[in-house]
């Protein structure tokens, strides 16, 4: 049976992965909180990315501030064009993204088998360059509001997605600042600082993980499109002419990251952009097949010299590179890898979910890669006497110093295993009578459910080997 998003949302709440923000006040749309298990999963994803991307010779790390000089967003083009075309229905008062409404209509035509009409409308949508053209398409195709069923539309207007606030006590135009809608610009404006302080030579990159904010109109599909989210971005600065080679390189590296963390490969695909952004020379998305359909997880872009040139123009400070060997001075091209940490959390959570028949019963299991699993080990003492609890708590505290570990004494061992399966804990260890005789414990593997006996003092090495690295 196909996995529904509701199943994931309800497991995420029940087991403490994800909660609705401000739930006791009715929640806040497009914002989510990470519970005890969720925060571990998120941190493990970010840690894996950080190690992979910045623990190498040619990439430096950065943590830029969320609030930046407002001119940054003029230079980047966000003030002028980081907006969505919106349309309101006057009867239902519901606001929609105009292009999404048209896409919905195309979907309906396809379902009815009217492929020619669907292709024709898709071509018109691709060609529609401004709000007026989108509005005309909605009128021509008599597209109705899914809520009220009417065509009682306002015109299509552009709606900027940046959150605005004010710096200092005065709410006036001169004090306007924005919550950053992407982490990338913090990297571009620090190009000279990082280059000079790290003494890197081109090609080199700068990586950053941090919160971004977008006033998305339609927040939907759980963590997929939210107003506050985390990004993991890396900008790789290269010599013009070498950009295509590095674009290929980063496409492959980023694909392999998902593969190596155990993502189901049939649920991943590379999708080149049909329309390129104004700054891009080439762009591809790594998409994942979520329960609601295919959606972007990561973008890999060849941004040419657009960003550094624009910041040079707007700040008056040269952002360029001097190559000793050739005595050439140039504005580097940028290959960008941009992935959502929050969106990846949703993808890894969804991808790990399984319902399996075991001895006539259904077990729910999260088959996370051990590197990503919130808890690495659960310690389960079997008998509450003869020094076994003492042995178990000592083992628990020893392992906990290195790996997040859970201690559980309540209920039959079968039930304790099931609870850990549902939390995605890859290993459970039991302490039994034999432990006191020969110092060995059992280790049960979450996926195969097989058990082996190993010396208790070998458990750290065992987990380390399974996690890898």
Residues of this chain that bind ligand GAP (CB under 6 A): 182, 184, 214, 216, 225-226, 229, 231, 233, 296-299, 336, 338-340, 342-343
Q: Smallest gap, in angstroms, from Cβ of residue 225 to ligand GAP?
A: 4
In whole angstroms, the minimum distance from the beta carbon of 233 to ligand GAP comes to: 6
For the chain, how are helix, strand and coil distributed in percent, rounded to 5?
Answer: 40, 30, 35
Which of residues 44 and 429 has its CB atom nearest to ligand GAP in the complex?
A: 44
Nearer to ligand GAP, 85 or 299 (CB): 299
* H-assigned helices in 15-76: 36-54, 70-75
Residue 225 or 311: the one with the smaller Cβ distance to ligand GAP is 225
Cβ 299 to ligand GAP shortest distance, Å? 4
Token pair for 270: 């590379």
Which of 343, 342, 208, 203 minimizes the C-alpha distance to 286?
343
Please give the Cα distance from 432 to 388 (Å, whole number): 7
Strand, helix or coil for residue 279:
coil
Nearest distance in Å: CB 342, ligand GAP: 5
Q: Which CB sits closer to ligand GAP, 305 or 336?
A: 336
Residue 152 three-state SS: coil
**Of 131 and 295, CB closest to ligand GAP:** 295
- The nearest distance, CB 355 to ligand GAP, in angstroms, is 27
> CB-wise, 153 or 229, nearer to ligand GAP?
229
Among 278, 468, 285, CA closest to 372: 468
Helix H or strand E encompassing 13? helix 5-14
We find the least distance from the C-beta atom of residue 203 to ligand GAP, in angstroms, to be 19
C-alpha triplet 243, 184, 252: angle, nearest 5°: 45
Closer CB to ligand GAP, 182 or 408, in the complex: 182
Whole-angstrom distance, CA of residue 276 vs CA of residue 284: 10
Least distance in Å: CB of 83 to ligand GAP? 13
Residue nearest to ligand GAP (CB): 340
Spacing of C-alpha 348 from chain mean position: 9
Q: Which CB, 343 or 369, lies closer to ligand GAP? A: 343
Instruction: Find, among 446, 435, 438, the residue nearest to 406 by Cα.
Output: 446
Residue 340 β-bridge partners = 231
Tell me the closest approach of the beta carbon of residue 56 to ligand GAP, in angstroms.
Answer: 21
Closest approach of ligand GAP to the CB of residue 270, in Å: 13
Task: Indicate left, alpha or beta for 27 from its phi (over 0: left) and psi (-120 to 50: alpha).
Answer: left
Q: Are 70 and 176 in contact (CB under 8 A)?
A: yes
In the complex with ligand GAP, which residue's Cβ is closer, 12 or 297?
Answer: 297
Residue 319 Cβ, how far from ligand GAP at the closest point, in Å?
17
* Distance from C-alpha of 320 to C-alpha of 329, rounded to nearest angstrom: 7
CB 338 within 8 A of CB 389: no
Taking the C-alpha atoms of residue 259 and residue 263, their distance in angstroms, rounded to an integer, is: 5
Which residues are registered as beta bridge partners of 284? 272, 300
Q: Minimal CA–CA distance to 296: which of 265, 261, 334, 338? A: 338
Q: Which is nearer to ligand GAP, 145 or 182 (CB)?
A: 182
């Amino acid at each position: 049976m196909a996995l529904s998003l509701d199943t994931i949302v309800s497991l995420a709440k029940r087991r403490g992965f994800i909660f609705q923000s401000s739930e006791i006040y009715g929640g806040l749309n497009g914002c989510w909180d990470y519970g005890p298990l969720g925060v571990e999963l998120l941190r493990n994803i970010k840690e894996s990315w950080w190690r992979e991307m910045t623990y190498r010779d040619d990439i430096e790390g950065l943590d830029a501030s969320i609030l930046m000089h407002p001119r940054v967003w003029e230079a980047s083009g966000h003030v002028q064009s980081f907006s969505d075309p919106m349309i309101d229905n006057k009867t239902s008062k519901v606001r929609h993204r105009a292009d999404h409404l048209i896409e919905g209509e195309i979907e309906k035509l396809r379902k009815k088998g009217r492929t020619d009409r669907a292709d024709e409308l898709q071509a018109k949508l691709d060609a529609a360059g401004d709000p007026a053209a989108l509005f005309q398409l909605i009128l021509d195709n008599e597209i109705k509001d899914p809520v009220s069923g009417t065509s009682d539309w306002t015109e299509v207007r552009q709606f900027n997605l940046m959150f605005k606030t004010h710096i200092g006590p005065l709410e006036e135009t001169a004090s306007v600042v924005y919550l950053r809608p992407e982490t990338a610009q913090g990297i571009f404006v620090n190009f000279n600082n990082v280059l000079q302080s790290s003494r890197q030579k081109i090609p080199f990159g700068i990586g950053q993980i941090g919160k971004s904010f977008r006033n998305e109109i339609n927040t939907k599909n759980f963590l997929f499109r939210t107003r506050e989210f985390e990004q993991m971005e890396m900008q790789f600065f290269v010599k013009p002419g070498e950009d295509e080679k590095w674009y290929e390189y980063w496409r492959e590296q980023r694909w392999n990251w998902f593969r190596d963390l155990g993502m189901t490969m049939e649920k991943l695909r590379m999708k080149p952009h049909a329309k390129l952004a104004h700054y891009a020379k080439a762009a591809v998305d790594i998409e994942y097949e979520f329960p609601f359909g295919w959606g972007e997880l990561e973008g890999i872009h060849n941004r040419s010299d657009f960003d550094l040139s624009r910041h040079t123009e707007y700040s008056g400070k040269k952002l360029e590179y001097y190559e000793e060997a050739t005595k050439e001075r140039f504005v580097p091209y940028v290959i960008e890898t941009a992935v959502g940490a929050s969106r990846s959390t949703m993808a890894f959570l969804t991808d790990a979910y399984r319902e399996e028949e075991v001895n006539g019963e259904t077990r729910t299991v999260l088959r996370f890669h051990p590197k990503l699993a919130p808890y690495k080990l659960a310690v389960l003492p079997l008998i509450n006497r003869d020094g076994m609890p003492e042995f178990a708590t000592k083992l628990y505290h020893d392992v906990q110093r290195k790996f997040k570990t859970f201690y559980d004494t309540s209920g039959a061992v079968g039930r304790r295993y099931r609870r850990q399966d549902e939390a995605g804990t890859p290993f459970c260890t039991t302490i039994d009578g034999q432990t006191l005789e020969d110092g060995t414990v059992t280790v049960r593997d979450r996926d195969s459910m097989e058990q082996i006996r190993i010396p208790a003092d070998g458990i750290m090495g065992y987990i380390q080997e399974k996690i890898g690295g």
